[in-house]
Structure 1
């Protein structure tokens, strides 16, 4: 089990922040048809009930955007992942098909508005993961994005550096089909309301699609 910490810098700027981490043994796969039936149904419902300028009004997305602003980052240039996913749906762009774990996490983000970090726990260095704020010129290779400017972004770090932000996770600790140990972190800048329900939902999906028992949960 990892120790999850929140830096004083984040606590001071975002006193309502709550986090939940799920550590689970999983069996990943490249594609799951039944999962994608759920994703397609949720996406279709979302598209019919939202307009593009309404996406950011989700309270969890809005709170994440406000956190970016407090740290000096423009959320319109570096969109939180949940917002980016929902905007793709409203714009009638196809959602990415990565693998079952990533697709499952994306489904939770679409349903809830939380930006969720998904990491291969075996690739995390040390036993502590701390949420801080990105520094100028701090190296961070975003998944599929190359080197990402994370100055002013909330960032989780292990013993050797950043592993994830609400905009993008790091190539170094990314999930793959070979992943058997998942660390998923749900970032609730809007407070605790709705967080336990999101955890329960993710655990139910893990049980259904990854042969997991749902894993262990840490609230912090």
Structure 2
């Protein structure tokens, strides 16, 4: 298996995505030695703080930029919302409580107004890459408690590996194969930024995530890489 550094070095953004949004950047953070499990007092505190400080998604320029990016590849952002938009809309009534690792990254996403996803690195097949779909790539999900395979629409922006789609519509929905579970000990976190979020703010969000993961999982190690579309 590749080392963490080799895996990060192999990650890529296809030029077709750069042509769509040359301002796009992805901060990839790999964390190893994580302590998985259900939510706890620490993750609950982070979620409560994020809920209390959550901004109005209708008034934030980074959310607006993401809606524009979704429209650019044919998605309807009021029906399939960018992940941070969907979370911010849930904040007044309470953010979801999923598991310790997911709750931590959702709290950072809301606090820093940045789309942020986390996935189990042990279930990846080959390198991570962001591209535009041909429309034949498999996307694994659950429907009615049963495993189902769908395909993205041609031209849709997707994250994928050698086996198929890991996240549809940039940051809208993750597949079940690589999702975090209460058994995840190695994960990759993806922070998505457009021009409305500068590198300084993106790096601050990355630090907040890294610090929270290390606090929640003493002894965890992290490595990161910033990818640019242009």
TM-score by length of structure 1 reads 0.87
Q: How does 1:16-35 map to 2 (within 5 A)?
A: 16-25=23-32, 26-35=34-43
Kindly tell me: are residues 142 and 95 of structure 1, through their superposed partners in 2, closer, same or farther at Cα, counting changes over 3 Å?
farther
TM-score normalized by the length of structure 2? 0.83
| Superimposed CA distance per residue, residues 14-54 of structure 1 (whole angstroms, 9 cap, x where no aligned partner) | 000111111111111212112202211320232xxx5xxx4
Alpha-carbon distance between aligned partners in 2 of 1:148 and 1:188, rounded to the nearest angstrom: 27
Which one of the candidate residues 33, 40, 45 is aligned to 1:37?
Answer: 45
Aligned residues: 211
1:113 maps to what in 2? Answer: 113
Please name the residue that 1:177 is paired with. Answer: 182
Q: Deviation per CA, 1:108-160, whole angstroms, max 9, x where unpaired?
A: 1101121112110000001x211012343543234779666632542111011
Residue 131 of structure 2: aligned partner: 132
Distance 1:87 1:140 in 2: 26
Structure 2: distance between partners of 1:158 and 1:177: 22
Task: Identify the match of residue 160 of structure 1 among 136, 160, 163.
Answer: 163
Q: How far did residue 98 of structure 1 move?
A: 1.0
Q: Specify the SS of the correspondent of 1:119.
A: strand
Match of 1:77 in 2: 79
Return the alpha-carbon distance in structure 2 between the equivalents of residues 142 and 80 of structure 1.
18
Deviations 1:48-107 (A, max 9, x none): xx5xxx4143233222221111111111111111111110123x2x32211111001101
Gaps of 5+ in 1: none
Root mean square deviation of aligned Cα: 2.1
Q: Could you say what secondary structure the match of 1:40 adopts?
A: helix
Match of 1:20, SS? strand
